[in-house]
Amino acid sequence: MALTRRHFVGSLLATSMLAATAPAQVRRGSATRPNIITIVLDDVGYSDLGCFGSEIRTPNIDRLANAGLRYARFDTKAVCSATRAALMTGRNSHTVNMSDVPDLAAFLTKAEADSRFYIPDSAWNMPQVLKRAGYSTWAIGKWHLIPGRELPENAVHKSWPRQRGFDYFYGYAKGWTDQYKPDLVENDTYLKREFPDNYHLSVDLTDKAISLIERHLDSGTAGPFYLNLAYGTAHSPIQVPREYSRKYDAVYAKGWDVVRSERFQRMKRMGIIPENTDLSDRTSSDRAWADLEPAERQVFARYMAVYAGFIEHCDEQLGRFLDMLDARGLSHNTLIMLFSDNGPASEAGQAGEFDGLYNANTIPIEEQVRRIDELGTPKLQSEYPRPWALVGSTPLQRYKLWPYSGGTRTPMIVRWPATIAHSGAIRHQYVDVIDVAPTLLAAAGTSFPKAVDGVPQLPVAGRSFLTSFTSPRAPGREVQYFELRGNRAITAGRWRAVAMHDCDTPFEQDKWELYDLQNDFSESVNLAARYPAKVDQMKSLWAAEWQLFGSGPMREPPKFACASGGALLR
C-alpha cells in the first residue's frame, strides 16, 4: 500500500489518541507535578557517551541512564537552532521559521532575512505553557534562537528567552562562545566582566543552575520548575584544562579507524544497536588514519583527547548538579531529559581548525606540533578534524548537517524515578525532537493551547511518547520528514529515503537513496535500484509532509553549503 498523505494523517491521529490517554496512565503514581529539566549538549555524537558505547568517561550521565531509559532511535534536525526551535515548540523547524541557524541570514537579501529565523507568536514555546501552568522557568546556557536584527542590546527583544516564557536567562545568545571568556548575557543584558584564571563556562552554568534551584526551594513558596540547561559542550572551540585531556592521549593515538571499530563492537554488546548492524563505510572524502603523516597523527590525536576531556569535564559538573538534586530530595519526582542537538561536528574539514573557527587550517603541521600543548587552552579556538566526527556517529553514515542518521541521530536519556520502573533499559521506539515538548507537557498535566487570547496557534506536529516510559511496546513515531540546506530525507516505518542536492540543479533531479532500517540500522546498503516503486512512494510521502509542515517552495541553499563542494565536503 502506498504511503499517502491520508495514511500519514490517519497514523498521526491514531498516535494523538494514544498520547491523549498517556498522562493519566503514567502520572497516577506521582502525587505532585514533576520538576522538569532538559539538559542539551552541543555537537555530541550518537556514540560519544559512555552509556552509548564510548570510551569517554561519563559516569554521571551513565548514572542517569542506569536509573532511567536510553532511547536508541532519537532524531534531531542535524543543526542546532532548528533542533532547539523544535524542542521548544513541538513543531517542525520549517513551520516556525527556524530551518537553519540564524547566522545564515548574512547570506540572504534583507527581505529574505527579515522573513526568516524568528519563531512567530502563533507558536507558543514550552516554557510559556509551563509558566501559565504555574511552573517557574529558567534558561541557562546556549539559546541561539535570535534573529540578527534582535542581537544588539538596544534592539527590540522579541525572541530572547525572557520574551519566550522564561523567568530568567543566564548564558549566551549566539551559537558558540569561548569557554574561558564567554560572551555572557543575564536576562536581557550583555555582561561585562573579568574572568579568573580558573574560569570555565561549564562550571559557571552549573553553579548558576544549582543556585537557582536552591534559592527557589529556600523561598518557602516553591512550586514546580522547568530548567533548560544547555551546555556549550562539546561545540567548538574545544577547550578544557590539560588535566582532563591528558588521560586520553594514548587512547586516541591508535587513530579514528580503530576507535570507531571498537565503539561499534561495544555498542552491539550493550544492545544500543541491533546485532545485524553493519559499520557504514568511511566516506571517500574522509582520510584513513593509516594515510596520515606521523606529525599529523600526533596533533590529530590531541584534538580528540581535548574533545573527550571537554565531555568528561562537563559530566563532572553534571555530577555536582545531580548530587544537589539528591541532597535536596528532588530526584524522585524530577523528570530529566538529556540529549544532543545534532550529530558530531563536521565543519572543520580534514585538517581540523587549530586556531580560528570556520576557516581552513593553514597553519603548517610542524608549527602545530610545536604548539600542541596550546590545544584546549585559552590561547586557541580549535575543532577536531572531520574523521573524528565519523567516530562520534558510529555506526551511522556522516555527521552534523547531513540528512543521513549520522547527522540527525543523537543519544537521549530520560530519568524520572517516580514513573520509570525499567531503570537501565533501552527503548527502541522512533522518537523525534518535536515529540519532546508534548511529552514533557503531558507529564506536567498540560498541553500546547490551540489558541492564545483568541489567536489561533500553529498545529503541533509532535506527539507525546510518555507511554514508552512504562511500556517497551508503546508506539513510537511512524513518519518524519527532514530538510536542511536542500538535502532531504523521509522516514516511514522500516524505510528511510535520502536525497542529496547539488546547488543550481533542479530539486526534481535529485537522486534518492533507499534504506531498510529493519535490516540495515546504519544505512549502509542503498536499495533504490532494487525497489524503485518504494522510492516513488517515499518521495510522494516527503512531498505530502512538506505540504503539511514545510515553509513554501524549496529554496536553494547558500553556495558554501552545497553538497557538491564548499564547507560541507572539505
pLDDT at res. 29: 37
Residues 6+ apart with CB under 8 A from 396: 46, 280, 343, 404, 405, 406, 409, 522, 523
User: Any idea how long the chain is?
Assistant: 570
d(C-alpha 48, C-alpha 57), whole Å: 9
97-111, 155-169, 221-235, 500-514: least confidently modelled range? 97-111
Q: How many CB atoms lie within 10 A of CB 329?
A: 10
pLDDT at res. 563: 58
pLDDT at res. 566: 42
Mean pLDDT, residues 418-440: 96
pLDDT at res. 147: 94
Residue 529 lies in a domain: yes
pLDDT at res. 310: 98
Residue 111 lies in a domain: yes
Mean pLDDT, residues 80-98: 97
d(C-alpha 531, C-alpha 520), whole Å: 15
Distance of CA 412 to the CA centre of its chain: 9
Q: Tell me the Ramachandran region of residue 361: left when phi exceeds 0, alpha when psi lies from -120 to 50, beta otherwise.
A: beta
Q: What is the mean pLDDT of the chain?
A: 92
Residue 34 lies in a domain: no
Model confidence at 2, pLDDT cuts 50, 70, 90, reads very low
User: Structural domain of residue 244, as residue ranges?
Assistant: 5-26+39-568
Cis peptide before 234 (omega within 30 of 0): yes
| CA 322 to each of CA 312, 317, 438, 457: distance values in angstroms, whole numbers, following the listed order | 15, 9, 25, 36
d(C-alpha 380, C-alpha 8), whole Å: 49
Mean pLDDT, residues 183-207: 97
Residue 132 has pLDDT above 90, yes or no: yes
Residue 91 has pLDDT above 50, yes or no: yes
Mean pLDDT, residues 493-502: 96
Q: What's the pTM value of the predicted model, to 2 decimals?
A: 0.94
The structural domain count of the chain equals: 1
Element (H, E) at 363: none
Residue 569 has pLDDT above 80, yes or no: no
Distance of CA 2 to the CA centre of its chain: 32
| CB-CB contact of 307 with 388 (8 Å) | yes
Model confidence at 13, pLDDT cuts 50, 70, 90, reads very low
| CB-CB contact of 102 with 117 (8 Å) | yes
User: What type of residue is 372?
Assistant: I
pLDDT at res. 221: 78
| CB-CB contact of 133 with 446 (8 Å) | yes
Nearest of 392, 411, 395 to residue 522 by alpha carbon: 395
Nearest of 204, 49, 213, 33 to residue 129 by alpha carbon: 33
pLDDT at res. 23: 41
Cis peptide before 456 (omega within 30 of 0): no
Residue 317 has pLDDT above 80, yes or no: yes
| CA 478 to each of CA 8, 272, 292, 475, 482: distance values in angstroms, whole numbers, following the listed order | 8, 20, 43, 8, 14
CATH classification at residue 478 = 3.40.720.10
Nearest of 39, 83, 103 to residue 337 by alpha carbon: 39
Residue 31 lies in a domain: no
pLDDT at res. 558: 77
Residue 478 lies in a domain: yes
Residue 64 lies in a domain: yes
**278-314: pLDDT as tens digits:** 999 998 899 999 999 999 999 999 999 999 999 999 9
Q: Tell me the Ramachandran region of residue 32: left when phi exceeds 0, alpha when psi lies from -120 to 50, beta otherwise.
A: beta
**212-260: pLDDT as tens digits:** 999 999 998 779 999 999 999 999 999 999 999 999 999 999 999 999 9
Model confidence at 567, pLDDT cuts 50, 70, 90, reads very low
Sign for the CA dihedral angle at 229, 235, 237, 238 comes to positive
- Helices (DSSP H) in 67-166: which residue ranges? 80-89, 110-114, 126-132
Residue 138 lies in a domain: yes
**28-50: pLDDT as tens digits:** 334 589 999 999 999 999 999 99
Residue 32 lies in a domain: no
Residue 124 has pLDDT above 80, yes or no: yes
| CB-CB contact of 457 with 437 (8 Å) | no
* Residue tagged 577547550 (cell numbers): 239
Mean pLDDT, residues 363-388: 98
Model confidence at 568, pLDDT cuts 50, 70, 90, reads low
Q: How many CB atoms lie within 10 A of CB 529?
A: 9
Mean pLDDT, residues 432-440: 98
Helix 532-549 vs helix 5-20: angle between axes, to the nearest 10 degrees?
Answer: 60
pLDDT at res. 12: 40
